[in-house]
Structure 1
Amino acid sequence: MSVRNIGRIHQKSTAFFLCDIQEKFRSHIFQYPSVVATAQKMIAAHKILDIPLIVTEQNPTALGQTATELDISQAKVNIPKTKFSMLVPEVEKELQGIKSVVLFGIESHVCVLQTALDLLENNFDVHVLADGVSSMNSFEIDHALNRVKSAGGFVTTSESILFQLMGDSKHENFRSISKLVKETKEATASNKLFIRSNI
């Protein structure tokens, strides 16, 4: 009897993918501040939980560097790319022992979607954060998330993922993550990406 893949996620076999949250997108992306706020939460969590952070920048000469609010100084990988998908050779070689990827960034229907599809095709579990992805045109978001789901990916939220990664209130980082969730409560509550999602 085959075992159904329900998308269990574990701290030691997970990587966070921050996709192209760049300066030049700031005035063009729907609810850009919400994308940044979720990314800040996940960056803080990557430091607390010691989960590798993979960062890419799409054609940074034209689109600028990663948003200045985001501290990516401890990223395992931080590279420019021209391919829409983040799964470039420099990233792929850093994924030994990784089973699950938590994906957030922009644009939902381009780089995020193509990254998700490439990862799924290479047998990674993909968890896309509904409160952490966006596009220039807001209507593209739900279509992209539905496409991820139809391909076998999982659409979830940042807070849900953080508690799934711990799994138990006895986890050594439970207090630190709980504190992070409390500190970001206002930003989470006002996140219009999550509020508008039909997924």
Structure 2
Amino acid sequence: MAAPSRRLHNPVIFVCDLQDKFRNAIWQFDKILLTSQKVLRAAQILQIPIVVTTQNAGKLGPIVPELQPLIKDAAVHSDKTLFSMVTPEVSSHALFSGQSKREVVIVGIESHICVTQTALDMLAQGHKVYILADGVSSCNEEEIPVALARLRAEGAVVTTSESWIYETMGDAGIAEFRDIAKLVKETSADTKTALAGLLSKI
């Protein structure tokens, strides 16, 4: 029997503009952080590269402290005025310089602006894009289902963090499965909280 292998071979996680200045403006911001923490912990276990952006950090500040320990080894940390995360610094990084396409997973804000424009740019470059519905939001909650419907129509996969984590693995025989299963169990209450909040608008 062949050795177990992962279902997704080139994933990369995009963390979009999760800055403290937005904490009180974004609907269900605390729920996005719960999902982002889980996904970033999974990235550590599965050794998935991370791309982080801030929107005009000079004025809007750094990424929230809850995520700082989980992004310290990010492959790219790009500050931007663009709405899309696909800045020149990101585009020119070795992650995207080869011929192979990536499975780009996006969490962050705002679903109808920066998340949407990032997804459209990545799709245009031929990458597969996953939007984690329990990991994105906007100031106005009504924007979210409109943005997700548009992104589905454009070819992005709208899914949940747990579904994506298990799809990335694809096989309970991989070496990291036990640690991921432990993570999923540890964060089960957070997952329910995030789903109940953010998916209520889908």
Provide TM-score, normalisation by structure 1: 0.92
The corresponding residue for 2:151 is 148
Indicate the residue corresponding to 1:64 in structure 2. 61
Q: Report deviation, 1:12.
A: 3.1
Residue 9 (structure 2) pairs with residue 18 (structure 1): no
Give CA deviations for 1:95-154 in whole Å, capped at 9, x if unaligned. Answer: 244421001100000100000011111111100000000000000011111111010111
Give the counterpart letter for 1:156 in structure 2: T
Find out whether 1:43 has 2:47 as its counterpart: no
Unmatched runs of 5 consecutive residues or more in structure 1:
1-8
Q: Which residue of 2 aligns with 1:83?
A: 82
Amino acid at match of 2:84: S
Q: Structure 1 runs of 4+ off > 4 angstroms? A: none
Change (3 A) 1:18 1:197: same
Hey, what's the Cα distance between the residues in 2 that align with 1:98 and 1:179? 30
Q: Is the 8 A contact 1:134 1:193 kept in 2?
A: no
Aligned residue pairs, count: 190
List alignment gaps of at least 5 residues for structure 2: 1-5
Paired position in structure 1 for 2:120: 117
TM-score, normalised relative to structure 2: 0.90
Distance 1:170 1:74 in 2: 27
Q: Assess, with a 3 A threshold, how the Cα gap between structure 1 residues 136 and 179 changes in structure 2: closer, same or farther.
A: same
Percent identity between matched residues is 45
Task: Report the counterpart of residue 162 of structure 1 in structure 2.
Answer: 165
Query: Distance between the aligned counterparts of 1:91 and 1:11, measured in 2?
Result: 21
Deviations 1:29-50 (A, max 9, x none): 0000111111101110111000
C-alpha RMSD over aligned residues: 1.3
Secondary structure at the counterpart of residue 12 of structure 1: coil
Could you tell me which amino acid in structure 2 is paired with residue 22 of structure 1?
Q
Q: Which of the pair has the greater relative contact order for Cα pairs under 8 Å at 6+ separation?
A: 2
Partner of 1:6: none
Residue 32 of structure 1 pairs with residue 29 of structure 2: yes
Q: Which residue of the partner structure matches residue 3 of structure 2?
A: none
Indicate if the aligned counterparts of 2:78 and 2:87 stay in contact, CA closer than 8 A.
no
